[in-house]
Amino acid sequence: MAVKLGDRARDSASGFAGIVTGVAQYLGARSRALLQPQCRPGGDFVKPRWFDEDRLIAIDEDAAREAIRPTVYSASRVDGALAKREHWNTRLGLFVRSYGTDKLAKALGVHPRTVRYWVSGKVSPQPQLARRLIEIARERGVELTAEDIARRP
């Protein structure tokens, strides 16, 4: 194996680079590795991609140790975009992260950015959306209250 889990690697053909977050080995076929690139500026998530392992060049061994810290990160799609924010530690933020920002936005008929604004406290959801958000959380066994989702100063 040219690369291992946690290494930063680059595809020699396309130049796509990221941390190896998955490896699949096959009988009688090439092994493949999943590269998870960094988020785009502004926190937009970039989808990981699979590559034949023999096309990958290791850039930095065990780069994941530096990339993964015991800090809570926001995710526009972990859903996964990662940006440090205290508000993602709130009950609402933790629920949105576990449910998925994009999935929740789709269920509520709003843009994912709107959901992130709710979590950040920039705005509060309209009453009917707040009620539906509480219902969705309850369906998943999470108790959210109106206070949990109300705008915070």
Confidence band of 52 (pLDDT split at 50, 70, 90) = very high
pLDDT (0 to 100) of residue 13: 92
Shared domain check, 94 and 35: no
What's the distance, Cα to Cα, between the start and end of the chain in Å?
A: 51
The residue out of 65, 84, 105 marking a domain boundary is 65
81, part of any domain: yes
Query: Is 110 among the domain residues?
Result: yes
**Do 82 and 136 sit in the same domain of this protein?**
yes
Do 114 and 98 share a structural domain? Answer: yes
**Phi/psi of residue 49, nearest 5 degrees:** -135, 150
Which pLDDT score, from 0 to 100, does residue 136 have?
Answer: 92
Number of domains in the chain: 2
**CATH at residue 145:** 1.10.260
Domain match, 78 and 104 both: yes
Are 145 and 78 members of one domain? yes
Within-domain flag for 33: yes
Instruction: With cut-offs at 50, 70 and 90, classify the pLDDT of residue 65.
Output: low
What residue spans of 3-140 are helical by DSSP H? 64-67, 91-99, 101-108, 112-120, 127-139
Task: Identify the weakest region by mean pLDDT among 10-24, 26-40, 70-84, 87-101.
Answer: 70-84
Cα–Cα distance, 125 to 56 (Å, whole number): 45
Q: Are residues 54 and 80 in the same domain?
A: no
The listed range with the strongest mean pLDDT (74-78, 96-100, 128-132) is: 128-132
Higher pLDDT, 4 or 102: 102
| Residue-level pLDDT at 7 | 86
pTM, entire model: 0.45
Q: Where residue 134 falls among pLDDT bands split at 50, 70, 90?
A: very high
pLDDT band at 153 (very low <50, low <70, confident <90, very high): low
Mean pLDDT of 128-136: 92
Task: Name 66's Cβ contacts closer than 8 Å, sequence gap at least 6.
Answer: none
Specify whether 79 is located in the same domain as 49.
Answer: no
**CA 140, 113, 66, 58 torsion-angle sign:** positive
Domain that holds residue 42: 8-65
Query: Region 112-128: what's the mean pLDDT?
Result: 88
Residue keyed to tokens 């290494």:
7
